[in-house]
Amino acid sequence: MGSGKIKMLPVLVITMILLLGSVFLGRYPSPFVTRLSDMMGDSLVRQVILDIRIPRIIMAFMAGMVLAASGTVFQMIFRNPLVDAGFLGVSGGAAFGASLGIVILGGGIPAIQGAAALFAFSGLGLSWFIATRIKFGDWVLRLLLSGIAVSAMFASGTGLLKYLADPLRELPELTFWLLGGLWGITWPDILQVAAVCLPCLLVIYLFRWRLNLLSMQDETIFSLVAHASLERLLLLLTAVLATSAVVCKTGQVGWVGLIVPHMARRLCGSDAQTALPVSLLLGGFFLLFCDDMSRTLLSGEIPLGILTSFIGAGLFLALLMNRRFALKRG
């Protein structure tokens, strides 16, 4: 555990450097790097930084932390290192809800975000309900199987809505939402998301050691934990609530919840007491890094989900091909 804490320090330092450096990255007034003299001398540049760039940096970092923390919770509770919010119908439900908001409910921001949150929770609720009706396998297997089925149903619904969408007006908006992005994030958005996500992150952080316990098999958990089902439910609901609060604002941002917990475990070991805080930092770092590229590389915005998937998949392959990488069970 001691070495884990020591390894956390460089991550913290690099993250701080990126957080600070991101303020200087952008395409206004000139592409890539904003000079300090421009910031000091030009009030419009200062306004761009204060009202657009900084809220976006905060949102990217917070969303990265949330997706990584949720990924850690999902992977540990489901005892499966290949699980993230995509399972359990959470992401699928949010995508379907947002598509419904755009195509059927008129496309207003409250309609998109409200429907995304509602269906993210419906995804979890439905997966949970179906899992209680499955007559074989342990709790984790039942929930995973029902989650896969519910996700597939939502995916087919999203596909239908894409098919029905107006190709000139609704389809581009729908496609852009499904690819994710942080354009147009404002200070009120930050406050709304923080009001939900920070308490959720605190709960997950406080339960971090118990995540180790909840990753054991059913009989072992039962012999050690008095109210295991309640703890699992609390952590899953917290992770889903935080994820849906983020996804409502950012759209679909894949791979963060899958790859970041792996990176954290590789860096400082599997004990969630250390791996979770490192995961939070790395998640924030990863999404901020991707968003910096998304808004800086080209004159137009590159959808964030494209970059997180591209970089995430690359990192995942690198981890898989590394000899020290192990997905084996005990």
What does the binding site for other proteins look like in residue numbers (CB under 8 A)? 1, 76, 79-81, 206-207, 209-210, 212-213, 215-220, 222-227, 265, 269-271, 273, 326, 328-330
Q: How far is the CB of 275 from other proteins (least distance, A)?
A: 9
Pick between residue 12 and residue 326 the one whose CB is nearest to other proteins: 326
Q: How far is the CB of 81 from other proteins (least distance, A)?
A: 7
In angstroms, the CA 284 to CA 60 distance is 7
Q: Give the burial string for 251-287 (b: 16+ CB within 10 Å, else e).
A: bbbbbbbbbbbbbbbbbbbeebbbbbbbbbbbbbbbb
Q: How far is the CB of 185 from other proteins (least distance, A)?
A: 33
Give the H or E element holding residue 92: helix 90-103
Pick between residue 43 and residue 227 the one whose CB is nearest to other proteins: 227
Pick between residue 270 and residue 296 the one whose CB is nearest to other proteins: 270
In angstroms, the CA 316 to CA 286 distance is 13
**Cα 276 from chain centroid?**
14
In angstroms, the CA 276 to CA 202 distance is 11
Q: How far is the CB of 226 from other proteins (least distance, A)?
A: 4
Burial of residue 99 (CB within 10 Å: 0-12, 13-18, 19+) is buried
Q: How far is the CB of 260 from other proteins (least distance, A)?
A: 15
Residue 224 makes CB contacts below 8 A (sequence gap 6+) with 213, 216
Pick between residue 188 and residue 329 the one whose CB is nearest to other proteins: 329
Q: How far is the CB of 176 from other proteins (least distance, A)?
A: 37
Pick between residue 213 and residue 297 the one whose CB is nearest to other proteins: 213
In angstroms, the CA 29 to CA 32 distance is 9
> Which of 135, 136, 156 minimizes the C-alpha distance to 89?
156
The amino acid that residue 234 corresponds to is: L
Pick between residue 2 and residue 167 the one whose CB is nearest to other proteins: 2
